[in-house]
Amino acid sequence: MQLIIDVGNTRVKAAIYKGDALQAKHHFALQDFSEEVGEFTGLYPIKKAIISSVGRLTDEQARSVQLRFPTIVLSHNTALPFTNDYGTPKTLGVDRMALVAAFVKAHPHKNGLIIDAGTCITYDFITKDGSYKGGAISPGLRLRYETLNRLTANLPLLEKQMPGSIIGTSTEESIHSGVVQGTLLEIDGAINHYKEHYNVDTVIITGGDAEFLAKRLKNSIFAHSNFLLEGLNYILTYQND
């Protein structure tokens, strides 16, 4: 069995896979990392582990895993199941690496666009011959709401909500329209562009806001909640191939 750990800015996702099959999954706060990982893994015969961290994982927290299992900490030096043609490969986020790996495993020989709708919205393009080309990064829904509140004097901080119309008839409705409708138009526009100019035939959306956005997009896409974890599992398995 393999232990998969995805460290975000404040939350951690941990999963255990047997081959390609998810056996268990657990979410917890980053500050509780060592204790929670110890309790979560206690009943499973884990052979190896992988850690992907975009958050502030300390060396001590990482060692709490490394001392128990052979562990890979994902970086630009890790062997990947695709060709990385990014112009600055050392700066490519480990979360984006994992998403591209998941796509290669699930949809080989396809031109693909992977959209991760989380704190940021990332777009990643990979060709059917397994070459990762790059993509885009823009603010996610929460960042857009918070920025409007933080950088203006009078706009309130709202929770995400689908507006009834693109025409807001109050300040709150106008914010929801600008944030949510604007994001949907951005994503649909990006998908249309990739389909027209790069022959993309498969689009995946994942991340915390994926479900909220997917059912409101005009384009046909696949929503997948565990895509990043599956990508990390594949990268870990790939190290022995």
Residue 154 marked as a ligand binder = no
Catalytic residues, by residue number, are: 95
d(CA 71, CA 50): 5
Instruction: Confirm whether residue 12 is marked as ligand binding.
Output: yes
127 known member of a binding site = no
- Tell whether residue 180 is among the known ligand binding residues: no
96 is in an annotated binding site: yes
Helix (H) or strand (E) holding 83: strand 83-84
| Residue 95 annotated as lining a ligand binding site | yes
10 is in an annotated binding site: yes
- Rounded to whole angstroms, the Cα distance separating 85 from 82 reads 9
Longest pairwise C-alpha distance within the chain: 58
The residues, ordered by sequence, that sit 6+ positions from 222 with a Cβ below 8 Å of its Cβ are: 202, 203, 204, 205
Q: Which residues pair with 72 in a beta bridge?
A: 50
Is 129 annotated among the ligand-binding residues? no
Token pair, residue 128, equals 């059917």
Rounded Cα distance between 214 and 223, Å, is 7
Binding residue ranges for K(+): 116
Binding residue ranges for ATP: 6-13, 119
Binding residue ranges for substrate: 86, 93-96, 171
